[in-house]
Amino acid sequence: MGAYSPAPVVTPEIHDRIMQEVIYPTVNGMAAEGNVYTGFLYAGLMIMPNGQPKVIEFNCRFGDPETQPIMLRLESDLVELCLKACEGKLDEVQSQWNPKASLGIVLAAEGYPGDYRKGDEIVGLPQSAVENEKVSWRV
């Protein structure tokens, strides 16, 4: 399992399609029903060969493991962005992103997420020689 950011399949044209066909209709639909939403809305999508976005799921939380590589690229203050969102003033701030690629890999025990053995040691991971590389571990 894993995730990467940015996703090369999401061209500016695909991004516009996602916003026009999925995100705006979803947020506007919730508002039309009297459910103004403030918070994280994770849209799990598949991009079809013709560029059409297909919704797999929506979650009111960060996606896992997708969030980890995305957050490694965020250069803005996440707390400031969250506070502005809570105040209804997110349009007053601009998020800044590192253009470099980020990758997250999940090392899972055999059988995960079902019945799996716990406590195994992970060995054999080489040290990176790449300058300015960020490595984040979560156990």
pLDDT by residue (tens digit) across 33-45? Answer: 999 889 999 999 9
Put residue 132 in one of left, alpha, beta given phi > 0 → left and psi -120 to 50 → alpha. left
Q: Enter the pTM of the model.
A: 0.76
Handedness of CA 40, 43, 44, 46 (dihedral sign): negative
Beta carbons within 8 Å of 30's beta carbon, 6+ residues apart:
36, 37
Contact 93, 75 (CB under 8 A): no
Determine the 3-state secondary structure of 83 from DSSP: helix
In whole angstroms, how far apart are CA 108 and each of 8, 93, 104, 113?
26, 38, 13, 8
In order of their start, the domains of the chain are 2-105 (3.30.470.20)
pLDDT by residue (tens digit) across 79-127? Answer: 999 999 999 999 999 999 999 999 888 888 888 889 998 888 877 766 6
Contact 21, 54 (CB under 8 A): no
Give the pLDDT confidence score for residue 136 in this predicted structure. Answer: 61
pLDDT by residue (tens digit) across 21-80? Answer: 999 999 999 999 999 889 999 999 999 999 999 999 999 999 888 999 999 999 999 999
